[in-house]
């Protein structure tokens, strides 16, 4: 009889993690940086390494009550304090409370001579002294590679630095080390070889004159992690990583319906409106009334007492209010009531990521039930097609996650054949409202069609879009012979019929 070997698999357990508190980082690392181990932050100059290291400590103090030690080889305490004031952090306060300790290690090869062998016990004693006086859970080194540039014996130094990190590990302290990225290696002196249980690469890239910061986890021993490049921002509120692509497609689908603000449109939609939390795309050429459709939706939302944010990338607030009042939509009333927020942003004022962040922040603050972006096609001035697409994708995922109904308008060319860019966006939108002009010899009229409405039996009929003094209206289109009968030529039709009856 063959012995039955009982396979006892060790219980699957991830290594202990130290939450960073930096928005987005904990999501892509599935819980944080390796606890009581070392993480290397590598990047080109100006990519935000010091920022990352300091944020790790600050969030540790504020969010998790873990005091931190910042070992600076470059900047002095006063310099660091000054630098971080501009990023909205008052380090003085944390230092006064003894939660944050900045320890500068001054090293300058012009100030000493080397004669023979040595070890780094002096550094150890300095740090030991700090650790004895203060309880510290997190340590950041910025940048330890400076030791290598100032001291000659590299191989010896390497063992010494290795000893330093082992020493910290034994003390159960989580370390973040920054290093300069050179070519494709994470650090010039190969610090990653012995330091890194986790390597995070920061990068800044300039494409079509817009700089984007990106972050990537290159390695994480013993833990799964997001492998993509994630855009991140350094804002006046600190570091911010967009981990939203990690959001699973598991947001709930609401059954409740919100009306579109146009009566006839609700009728076309089969369920008398849009699903709550869905995303709606309105496409059409210039001047067809996309903003009017959006404004009608906003007005209807505010009528019910729900909040709405209107992001306008084209017009100023006063211009929108004036224009909409001419078609009977009074936005000003709801703005004064605090239900409607009109945010007018110049699309070229910042990169896509910052736009995304601004929108997300506004949504988090106001908690609206409807968000309108008019128009998304203007964002193309800020980024390339692919970037805009991925940004919109993240934005829509965010809205769905927050259960916010979103309506976005997009400008298309007059040529109905030229649909390509919109099709790429429309694939991840729930509802696509398509508008176009019909042009005859003597007149031009607008028509509207619902191309797609997920989850409802929508009308396949083309309607005429009328923008009147009282608001937006949709009318059925009749066909008389080969000619479509629209509102504008109904009069004509009447005349024709009248004439015909007389002739009889």
Partner 1 sequence: MDNKFPKKKIPKKILKNKEKWVFQLYIAGGSPIGMYTYNTLKSICNKHFKNYKIQIIDLLQHPNLAKKQEIIAIPTIIRISPKPNIKIIGDLSNPKQALLSLKLDSRMVDNWDRHGEKK
Chain residues that interact with partner 1, rule: CB under 8 A: 103, 105-107, 111-126, 128-129, 132, 147, 151
Q: Are 387 and 352 in contact (CB under 8 A)?
A: yes
**Least CB distance from residue 94 to partner 1, whole Å?**
20
Q: Which is nearer to partner 1, 10 or 116 (CB)?
A: 116
**Least CB distance from residue 73 to partner 1, whole Å?**
10
Q: Which is nearer to partner 1, 171 or 225 (CB)?
A: 171
Q: Which is nearer to partner 1, 73 or 313 (CB)?
A: 73
Angle in degrees, CA 235, 236, 241, rounded to 5:
30
**Least CB distance from residue 125 to partner 1, whole Å?**
5
Q: How far is the C-alpha of 369 from the C-alpha of 105, rounded, in Å? A: 52
Measured in residues, the chain has a length of 504
**Least CB distance from residue 105 to partner 1, whole Å?**
7
Q: Which is nearer to partner 1, 20 or 72 (CB)?
A: 72
Q: Are 34 and 198 in contact (CB under 8 A)?
A: yes
**Least CB distance from residue 90 to partner 1, whole Å?**
25
Task: Name the nearest CA neighbour of 204 among 185, 181, 226, 224.
Answer: 181
Q: Cβ of 459: how many Cβ atoms within 10 Å? A: 17
Q: Which is nearer to partner 1, 164 or 429 (CB)?
A: 164
Give the β-pairing of 483-485 and 478-480. Answer: antiparallel
To the nearest 10°, the Cα dihedral for 45, 49, 50, 54?
170
Task: Name the nearest CA neighbour of 354 among 343, 344, 366, 345.
Answer: 345
Q: Which is nearer to partner 1, 128 or 423 (CB)?
A: 128
The DSSP secondary-structure symbol of 376 reads: G
**Least CB distance from residue 117 to partner 1, whole Å?**
5
Q: Which is nearer to partner 1, 117 or 183 (CB)?
A: 117
What's the sign of the alpha-carbon dihedral 81, 85, 89, 93? Answer: positive
**Least CB distance from residue 71 to partner 1, whole Å?**
12
Task: Name the nearest CA neighbour of 323 among 299, 302, 292.
Answer: 292
**Least CB distance from residue 95 to partner 1, whole Å?**
16
Q: Cβ of 225: how many Cβ atoms within 10 Å? A: 16
**Least CB distance from residue 161 to partner 1, whole Å?**
12
Q: Which is nearer to partner 1, 122 or 287 (CB)?
A: 122
3 state SS of 283:
strand
Element (H, E) at 7: none
* Residue located via tokens 């039709």: 493
Task: Name the nearest CA neighbour of 279 among 422, 138, 113, 393.
Answer: 393
Q: Which residues sit opposite 71 in a β-bridge?
A: 103, 141
Q: How far is the C-alpha of 302 from the C-alpha of 309, rounded, in Å? A: 10
Q: Which is nearer to partner 1, 151 or 438 (CB)?
A: 151
Q: Which is nearer to partner 1, 105 or 345 (CB)?
A: 105
Q: How far is the C-alpha of 21 from the C-alpha of 405, rounded, in Å? A: 29
**Least CB distance from residue 170 to partner 1, whole Å?**
18
């Amino acid at each position: 009889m063959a012995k039955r070997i009982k396979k006892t698999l060790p219980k699957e357990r991830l290594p202990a993690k130290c939450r960073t508190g930096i928005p987005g980082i904990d999501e892509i690392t599935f819980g944080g940086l390796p606890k009581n181990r070392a993480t290397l932050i590598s990047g080109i100059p100006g990519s935000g390494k010091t920022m990352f290291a300091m944020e790790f400590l600050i969030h540790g103090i504020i969010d998790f009550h873990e005091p931190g030690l910042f070992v600076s080889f470059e900047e002095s305490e006063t310099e660091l304090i000054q630098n971080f004031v501009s990023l909205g952090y008052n380090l003085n306060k944390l230092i006064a409370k003894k939660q944050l300790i900045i320890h500068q290690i001054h090293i300058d090869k012009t100030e000493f001579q080397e004669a023979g062998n040595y070890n780094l016990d002096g550094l150890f004693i300095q740090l030991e002294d700090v650790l004895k006086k203060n309880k510290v859970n997190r340590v950041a080194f910025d940048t330890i590679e400076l030791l290598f540039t100032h001291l000659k014996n590299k191989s010896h130094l390497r063992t010494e630095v290795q000893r330093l990190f082992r020493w910290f590990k034994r003390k159960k302290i989580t370390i973040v080390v920054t290093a300069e990225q050179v070519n494709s290696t994470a650090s010039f002196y190969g610090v990653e070889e012995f330091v890194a249980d986790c390597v995070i690469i920061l990068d800044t890239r300039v494409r079509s004159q817009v700089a984007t910061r990106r972050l990537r986890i290159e390695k994480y021993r013993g833990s799964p992690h997001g492998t993509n490049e994630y855009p991140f921002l350094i804002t006046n509120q600190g570091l911010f990583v967009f981990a939203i692509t990690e959001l699973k497609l598991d947001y709930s689908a609401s059954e409740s319906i919100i009306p579109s603000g146009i009566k006839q449109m609700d009728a076309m939609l089969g369920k008398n409106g849009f699903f709550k939390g869905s995303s709606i795309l309105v496409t059409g050429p210039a001047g067809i009334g996309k903003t009017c459709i959006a404004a009608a939706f906003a007005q209807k939302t505010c009528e019910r007492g729900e909040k709405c944010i209107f992001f306008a990338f084209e017009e100023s607030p006063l211009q929108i209010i004036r224009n909409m009042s001419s078609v009977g939509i009074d936005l000003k009333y709801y703005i004064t009531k605090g239900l409607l927020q009109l945010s007018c942003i110049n699309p070229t004022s910042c990169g896509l990521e910052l736009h995304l962040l601004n929108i997300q922040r506004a949504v988090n603050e106001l908690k609206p039930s409807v968000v309108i972006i008019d128009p998304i096609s203007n964002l193309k001035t800020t980024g390339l097609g692919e970037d805009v697409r991925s940004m919109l994708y993240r934005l829509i995922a965010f809205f769905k996650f927050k259960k916010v109904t979103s309506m976005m308008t997009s400008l298309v060319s007059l040529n109905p054949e030229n649909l390509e860019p919109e099709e790429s966006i429309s694939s991840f939108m729930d509802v696509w409202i398509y508008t176009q002009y019909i042009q005859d010899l003597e007149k031009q009229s607008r028509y509207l069609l619902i191309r797609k409405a997920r989850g409802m039996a929508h009308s396949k009929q083309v309607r005429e879009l009328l923008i009147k003094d009282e608001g937006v209206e949709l009318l059925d289109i009749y066909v008389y012979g080969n000619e479509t009968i629209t509102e504008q030529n109904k009069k004509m039709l009447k005349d024709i019929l009248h004439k015909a009856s007389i002739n009889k």
